[in-house]
């Protein structure tokens, strides 16, 4: 008998066919009120779940007594109670690696756009306000040769460092849970404390996961250590930053600008002050949003789920303690 899989993310025809060849699939098109009702109705018979951007807590998963595996189409796993899943021996897998380069591209796009005021000045042209040569009031700042500070030196942090070091001749400083000798050798990078990084970096780039330890890591105290020329980049998770403190730092000139792909609340509220600040470049969580990368992520998730349902250890298992061979 085929396993029952609940899919709350649309797949390409090829991946859907792969999944349907080995499982009975219930597809939920939208995670609106009707979709959530469909999910609740399907959970009692589900052996596997595949999707993204839905907080799966005990209140939902207690409805799924037969659940064996969840394949998240994401790198971040902050939507899951990992201790709960491990206790129930529900295998949680994610999709690292395949989005590393694309997300790093997004980070560097934000670095360049914020430094050179690309969005602000493109809107001047679009609105028909370009009536004379650009002067000092519209000048941006150089990226090449400036100090790049990276907080969180995982795969994405390394990919950002590679672009900065080799592409733009940027000195790289970083902070992570522990020094990374291989990173230091490859990029001539220097490990430093967070206060030192804030005081030295021209660009502060966040690439770390959201955990109980990192939530609210960057607040008023940290922004106060930065310099007026600092440009702040966040491609990690919005809740790593105290958004109100960041807005005040941007308004007051404590920092020069920000490039943001993530926010405390997503989608961003229509009345958010960030939308009215010219020194902010804001994108709608597009870190991995290319056709190629999203298909690769979905394929990775399908591989993970099918392996788990076959009694194998998924390649990208998050909660290793839940697996029993």
Tell me: do 297 and 271 sit in the same domain. Answer: no
- Number of structural domains the chain divides into: 2
Tell me: do 104 and 247 sit in the same domain. Answer: yes
Residue with tokens 């491990």: 86
Q: Do residues 230 and 204 touch, judged by C-beta distance below 8 A?
A: yes
The band of 325, judged by pLDDT with boundaries at 50, 70 and 90, is low
Residue 286 has pLDDT above 90, yes or no: yes
CATH of the domain at 164: 3.40.50.720
Tell me: do 136 and 209 sit in the same domain. Answer: yes
Tell me: do 161 and 70 sit in the same domain. Answer: no
Tell me: do 177 and 278 sit in the same domain. Answer: yes
Find out whether the peptide bond into 110 is cis, omega within 30 degrees of 0: no
Tell me: do 82 and 228 sit in the same domain. Answer: no
Tell me: do 217 and 265 sit in the same domain. Answer: yes
Residue 73 has pLDDT above 90, yes or no: yes
Tell me: do 52 and 120 sit in the same domain. Answer: no
Residue 322 has pLDDT above 90, yes or no: yes
Q: Which two tokens stand for residue 108?
A: 């560097």
Residue 263 has pLDDT above 70, yes or no: yes
Residue 248 has pLDDT above 80, yes or no: yes
- Quick one: DSSP state of residue 275? G
In this structure, the number of other CB atoms found within 10 A of the CB of residue 116 comes to 15
Tell me: do 131 and 252 sit in the same domain. Answer: yes
Residue 245 has pLDDT above 70, yes or no: yes
Contacts of 173 (CB under 8 A, 6+ apart): 147, 148, 149, 150, 189, 190, 191, 192, 196, 197, 200, 201
Mean pLDDT value of segment 221-233:
98
Q: Which two tokens stand for residue 305?
A: 């789920």
pLDDT digits (tens, 9 = 90+) for 9-55: 999 999 999 999 999 999 999 999 999 999 999 999 999 999 998 99
Tell me: do 89 and 108 sit in the same domain. Answer: no
pLDDT digits (tens, 9 = 90+) for 87-116: 999 999 999 999 999 999 999 999 999 999
The band of 324, judged by pLDDT with boundaries at 50, 70 and 90, is confident
Known catalytic residues are 237, 266, 285
* CA-based end-to-end distance of the chain: 21
Residue 81 has pLDDT above 90, yes or no: yes
3-state secondary structure of 249: helix
* Average pLDDT score, the chain: 97
Tell me: do 224 and 107 sit in the same domain. Answer: yes
Contacts of 14 (CB under 8 A, 6+ apart): none
Residue with tokens 């990173």: 183
Q: Do residues 7 and 40 touch, judged by C-beta distance below 8 A?
A: no
pLDDT digits (tens, 9 = 90+) for 187-224: 999 999 999 999 999 999 999 999 999 999 999 999 99
| Segments forming the whole domain that contains residue 203 | 100-282
Residue 56 has pLDDT above 80, yes or no: yes
Mean pLDDT value of segment 296-306:
98
Checking phi first, is residue 92 left (phi over 0); if not, alpha (psi -120 to 50) or beta? beta
The pLDDT of residue 77 is 93
Could you give the CA distance from residue 172 to residue 190 in angstroms, rounded to a whole number? 6
292-295: long-range contacts, CB 8 A cutoff, minimum separation 24: 292/102, 293/98, 293/99, 293/102, 295/12, 295/15
Tell me: do 147 and 248 sit in the same domain. Answer: yes
Q: Do residues 155 and 316 touch, judged by C-beta distance below 8 A?
A: no
């Amino acid at each position: 008998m085929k396993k029952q899989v609940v899919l709350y993310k649309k797949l390409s025809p090829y991946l859907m066919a792969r999944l349907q060849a080995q499982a009975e699939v219930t597809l939920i098109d939208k995670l609106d009120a009707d979709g959530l009702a469909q999910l609740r109705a399907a959970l009692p018979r589900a052996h596997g779940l595949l999707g993204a951007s839905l907080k799966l807590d005990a209140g939902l998963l207690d409805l799924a007594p037969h659940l064996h595996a969840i394949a998240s189409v994401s790198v971040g796993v902050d939507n899951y109670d990992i201790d709960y899943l491990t206790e129930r021996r529900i295998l949680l897998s994610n999709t690292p690696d395949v989005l590393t380069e694309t997300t790093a591209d997004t980070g560097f796009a934000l670095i360049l756009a914020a430094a050179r005021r690309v969005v602000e000045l493109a809107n001047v042209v679009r609105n028909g306000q370009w009536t004379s040569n650009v002067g000092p009031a519209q000048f941006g700042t150089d990226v090449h040769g400036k100090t790049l500070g990276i907080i969180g030196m995982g795969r994405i942090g390394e990919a950002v460092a590679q672009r900065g070091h080799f592409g733009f001749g940027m000195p790289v400083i970083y902070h992570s849970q522990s020094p990374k000798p291989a990173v230091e050798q490859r990029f001539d990078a220097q490990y430093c404390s967070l206060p030192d990084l804030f005081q030295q970096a021209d660009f502060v780039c966040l690439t770390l996961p959201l955990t109980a330890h990192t939530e609210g890591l960057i607040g008023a105290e940290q922004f106060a250590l930065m310099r007026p020329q600092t440009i702040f980049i966040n491609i990690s998770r919005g809740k790593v930053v105290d958004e109100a403190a960041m807005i005040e730092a941007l308004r007051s000139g404590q920092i020069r600008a920000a490039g943001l792909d993530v926010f405390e609340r997503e989608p961003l509220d229509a009345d958010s002050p960030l939308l009215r600040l010219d020194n902010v470049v804001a994108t709608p969580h597009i870190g991995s949003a290319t056709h190629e990368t999203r298909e690769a992520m979905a394929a990775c998730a399908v591989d993970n789920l099918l392996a788990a349902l076959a009694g194998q250890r998924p390649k990208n298992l998050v909660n290793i303690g839940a697996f029993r061979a």
